[in-house]
Chain A
Amino acid sequence: AQSVTQLDSQVPVFEEAPVELRCNYSSSVSVYLFWYVQYPNQGLQLLLKYLSGSTLVKGINGFEAEFNKSQTSFHLRKPSVHISDTAEYFCAVFSGSARQLTFGSGTQLTVLP
């Protein structure tokens, strides 16, 4: 079975500060990992994905994530956030043994002026 834990339900941060949104997963086989972003009143949009290769993955809007197999983590980072980054962020995992994507419970990022 696969599961995803997003450790922080809400993360407030001031504009231009760095941010890290944490994601841990559990799976007994190789995994593929995704971060999605949901802006207010919109659907989910893919931010970045890890399929294989380099463990540091760069996505849209200046976000990046690092796959750490030993710690089973896929934390999302941005060195300097903007007001427009205010949104809910979802981590998701897919493993070869599953037929479906499993989502975490989400982290609401609020960027304060």
Chain B
Amino acid sequence: DADVTQTPRNRITKTGKRIMLECSQTKGHDRMYWYRQDPGLGLRLIYYSFDVKDINKGEISDGYSVSRQAQAKFSLSLESAIPNQTALYFCATSEPLATSYNEQFFGPGTRLTVL
């Protein structure tokens, strides 16, 4: 079984709709991240969480919100989707920095298309 899972894997939606992307992990890591990938831009950090009560904005948080329901679950929401949020979204996890130097483990991704 995969250590980091994302649901759904693919989603097509319309402008203005609310969308939630979910991430679950069985690695026991405290730290979780949401990235979006766009061609030619690499991965950009949207939000990250160091534990259930520690949530931080990343480089491109506008238009997104997150919820850390438990150590193992981290959800990303688009309150009102717009076409330029069409992208591949990745969830990742890591151990504390002192032991991992931020080596991250990625889920398989969610391809989101906003029409």
Contacts and interface: CB of A to CB of B under 8 A. Distances in A.
A105 B41 contact: yes
Contact of B42 (A34, A45, A51, A103): A103
Contacts, number: 47
Interface stretch (A13-21, A61-69, A71-79, A94-102): A94-102
B15 interface: no
B90 A90 contact: no
Nearest to B50: A99
Nearest to A6: B42
Contacts of A46: 103, 105
A43 to B, nearest CB: 4
A101 B32 CA distance: 12
Interface in A46-86: 46, 49, 51
B98 to A, nearest CB: 10
Interface string A5-35: 0100100000000000000000000001010
B106 A43 contact: yes
B48 A100 contact: yes
Interface residues of A, number: 21
B80 interface: no
Contacts of B92: 44
Contacts of B109: 42-43
Contacts of B43: 44, 90, 103
B108 A43 contact: yes
Nearest to A43: B106
Given A32-B102, A99-B56, 20 more contacts: A32-B101, A34-B103, A36-B106, A42-B109, A43-B90, A43-B108, A45-B106, A49-B101, A49-B103, A90-B42, A90-B43, A94-B101, A100-B33, A100-B45, A100-B58, A101-B102, A103-B44, A105-B40, A105-B41, A106-B42
Interface of A: 6, 9, 32, 34, 36, 42-46, 49, 51, 90, 94, 99-101, 103-106
